[in-house]
Structures are given as structure tokens and as C-alpha cells.
Amino acid sequence: MQLSRDDLLKAYRDMRVIREFEERVHEEFAAGGIPGFVHLYAGEEASAVGFCMNLTDVDHIASTHRGHGHSLAKGCDVKGMMGEIFGRQNGLCAGKGGSMHIADLELGMMGANGIVGGGPPLICGAALTAKTLKTGGVAIAFVGDGGSNQGTTLESYNLAKVWNLPAIFVVEDNGYAEATASAWSVGGSQVKRAEAFGMPGYQVDGHDFFAVHEVAREVVDRARNGDGPSLVHVNLYRYYGHFEGDATTYRAAGESDKVRAERDCMDIFRRRVTEAALLDKKQLDAIDREVESLIDDSVAEAKAAPVPTAEQLLTDVYVSY
């Protein structure tokens, strides 16, 4: 499918927002301004944006502990995201969820999830709801390469196939299941695994936005048309460690820098659209400046916002009947 210039500008802006957001969170965490645990998505932007650009307001996604990119790609407010990571009242969850528990149900973002493999059962529920109510919606679970081996994930594959749910499972293989190389943790492509569960499987280069977008369009259309679930194995790379503070001693020296120089999804996108004269460098540079200003404002507002009070911490925690 040919993307319009507006589509291309949106794709670039969405990826740039994620990249600048994550780079700034990296800096602020190192400076001691962000509480809790943080897992960054920098380097994987083409996957989140490539899939979420094919979704609408009736669709749902569930994320992993590395959820900032998915949240932003689904449309979550940038300033609300930053406030949540800083643990402030202006956060999407009023500062009570933090990095690993960001959600916005009104946008179909069912939440980042600290439970490895916690997302697939959630999207089976969302997909069943869409099928039952005939909303036309689809549901996507983003799963890490380590989470792809969890029983919750495998049982969700089975459930989605048996019930013919409009569900999509996206395995983002970023090279390491925490500190274990995915060559050991995944054991090859997930395509054969998909076939074992009776659903189509795809493998795609996660550094290439256009390749991801095309596969995403196919599986989303398939699910929306009532043809059942699919599994997509996305090969990509995370630039930072498993978590902020990870010494990454399991990586070869200079490995991340080499990937950034040779296979960065942002650079590949810029090169493709400018060489094809679809967009020009000035348009892309203007987006860079606008996004940089947005992230600056988001950090400033987060730092100025109050933290939740003790009384507020107890709201929305327990259900009263």
C-alpha cells in the first residue's frame, strides 16, 4: 500500500517522539530524577509505529515492561507519559503506575505490564469482546523474545486459534531475553511455532518501517475480516540494556554503536523517503526541532508537577462493592 506524504510525516514524527522521549528518560534517570525501574525502547521504534499506524480507536494493544514506545505509538499523551514516569500527579495514571504500568484504556492501550507474558491473555479478552460485540476491532499483544516462551503466551496462541479471535501476537526479538541471547531463548524463527498452532506466521526486519508496516497491514486486515489470529516475529535491537543501570556485560564491545551506525530505523527511514523525493530534509529537520521542544516541555512540566498525596495513593487501588 502506498503511503501518502501525510502518512510518512506522521510515521517519522511518531518514531522521533519515541526516540527523543527514550533518550531523554535515559538522561533523566541517570541524573537521579526518575524513581523506580525503567526499561527503554530506543532502537525499536519502527515496530511499534509500523503496527499502530494500522489501528483505529476501536482496537486494543497490550504491552510489556518495555512499554513506552507502544504507548506513544497508540497515541498516549506525551506529557502525561512523562509525568507518569516521573511519578507525578499529571501522569496518565496520576503518578501511581510508573514506567512499567502505564495505561490509557480510552485509547485502547491496556497497559505496560511487569508480568513477563502478561499481555497475550489480556488481548484475547479484548479480541473476544470485539468479536462478540461486532465492533470490528482487533487486539495486538507485543511480547518480548523471552516472554514468547511463557505458558501464558502459548496458551493464548491456542485460545486465539480455537476461538478464531481477531488477535495478533507480535514477538519483538531484540536480541536478548534480559541477558540471554535470543539464539538460546527463542531457538530460531517463531514462524514454525505459529504454524504449529495453526495460524500464519511472518518474520520481518524491525529496522525497516516499511517492511513492518506492510506485514502489519496484512495481519490487521486479516483479523478485522474475521480470518483469525496471526503471529509476527520482528527482528530488532534495543540500544540500551535490559533496564537502566544494566552494565550490558553480556554484549560484545561496541555492539550497540555498530547497530546504530548501520541499521538505525530512523536513518533508514530518512534515507528512503529523501532519496525517493517523497519528503525533503527540511521537513524532517523541522519535525526533529518540534519534537525536541515537546520533550523539553514535557520534562519541565513533569518536574514542576506535585507527587501524589498519601490519600490519592489509595484511590483506584481497591474496588468497593
Which stretches of the chain score pLDDT less than 70?
1, 187, 320-321
The total number of residues written for the chain in this structure: 321
Give 83-111 as a 3 state SS string: HHHCCCCCCCCCCCCCHHHCCEHHHCECC
Q: The domain at 5-253+275-309 falls in which architecture?
A: 3-Layer(aba) Sandwich (3.40)
* Strand 176-177, strand 180-181: pairing: antiparallel
Question: 201 forms bridges with which residues in the sheet?
Answer: 231
The whole-number pLDDT of residue 260 equals: 93
Question: 180 forms bridges with which residues in the sheet?
Answer: 177
Please provide the DSSP assignment of 137-193 as one string: --EEEEEETTGGGSHHHHHHHHHHHHTT-SEEEEEEE-SEETTEEHHHHT-S-SHHH
Cα–Cα distance between 99 and 201 in angstroms, integer? 31
The whole-number pLDDT of residue 1 equals: 60
Task: For CA atoms 244, 245, 251, 252, give the dihedral sign.
Answer: positive
Please provide the DSSP assignment of 194-236 as one string: HHHTTS-EEEEETT-HHHHHHHHHHHHHHHHTT---EEEEEE-
The whole-number pLDDT of residue 225 equals: 97
**Cα atoms in the 13 Å half-sphere on the side-chain side of 197:** 24
The whole-number pLDDT of residue 321 equals: 59
The whole-number pLDDT of residue 282 equals: 97
The whole-number pLDDT of residue 146 equals: 86
User: Residue 230's closest CA among 261, 257, 199?
Assistant: 199
Tens of pLDDT, residues 71-119? 999 999 999 999 999 999 999 999 999 999 999 999 999 999 999 999 9
Give me the residue spans of the domains in the chain: 5-253+275-309
Tens of pLDDT, residues 131-167? 999 999 999 999 998 899 899 999 999 999 999 999 9
CA distances for 156 relative to 21, 122, 150, 194, 233, angstroms: 32, 9, 10, 12, 16
The whole-number pLDDT of residue 183 equals: 79
Provide the grid cell at 76.
498516549
The whole-number pLDDT of residue 320 equals: 67
The whole-number pLDDT of residue 296 equals: 98
